[in-house]
């Protein structure tokens, strides 16, 4: 193989790899929440969490925070605020209070879900969901 063909193949391979990397989805542009897991001890009949949903996009999005058990069944928890609009590149604190329901341990998933704006329903068909796992322990 001569030097001209090798140079051409190398340049083509490099450009192909660069294009493939640009087209890969980036974690920086994914909806986020922190922390994604945690353990809480409580002396009360419930335990409290503070999570921070984040919007990595430059445009505002509508957010809803929901609580599920480990099998993704809804849990009656107090979430404040449960629904809100989040500006581009911002995050905000959300307080979650989960009852133990008579159990010593309670595993829950706190999920941040994006809700399409009414004007975007025809064009937006994806509802993103990011969940964190949390374990509450009741201390007697």
The domain 28-138 is classified under which CATH number: 3.90.420.10, 3.20.20.70, 2.40.10.10, 2.60.40.10? 2.60.40.10
The predicted pLDDT at position 118 comes to 64
Structure tokens at 66: 């929901």
The predicted pLDDT at position 56 comes to 85
Half-sphere exposure of 35 (CA within 13 A, CB side): 9
CA distance 8 to 10: 6
Question: What global pTM score does this model have?
Answer: 0.72
The predicted pLDDT at position 7 comes to 43
Residue-by-residue DSSP string for the chain? --HHHHHHHHHHHHHHHHHHHHHS--GGGS-EEE-SEEEEEESSSEEEEEEEEE--SSS-EEEEEEEEETTS-B---EEESSEEEE-TT-B--EEEEEE-TT-SEEEEEEEEEEE--GGGTTT-----EEEEEEEEEE--
What is the full per-residue pLDDT of the chain (140 aa) written as tens digits? Answer: 555 444 443 333 333 333 333 333 433 445 688 999 999 999 999 999 999 999 888 888 899 999 999 999 999 999 999 999 999 899 999 999 999 999 999 999 999 998 776 665 555 556 788 999 999 999 98
The residue ranges of every structural domain in the chain are 28-138
């Amino acid at each position: 193989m001569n030097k001209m063909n090798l140079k051409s193949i190398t340049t083509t391979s490099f450009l192909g790899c660069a294009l493939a990397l640009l087209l890969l989805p980036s974690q920086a542009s994914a909806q986020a929440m922190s922390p994604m897991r945690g353990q809480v001890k409580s002396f009360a009949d419930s335990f409290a969490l503070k999570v921070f949903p984040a919007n990595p996009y430059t445009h505002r999005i509508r957010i809803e925070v929901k609580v599920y058990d480990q099998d993704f069944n809804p849990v009656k928890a107090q979430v404040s605020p449960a629904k809100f609009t989040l500006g581009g590149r911002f995050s905000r604190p959300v307080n979650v209070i989960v009852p133990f329901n008579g159990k010593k341990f309670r595993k829950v998933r706190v999920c941040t879900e994006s809700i399409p704006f009414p004007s975007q329903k025809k064009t937006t068909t994806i509802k993103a969901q990011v969940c964190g796992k949390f374990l509450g322990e009741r201390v007697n």
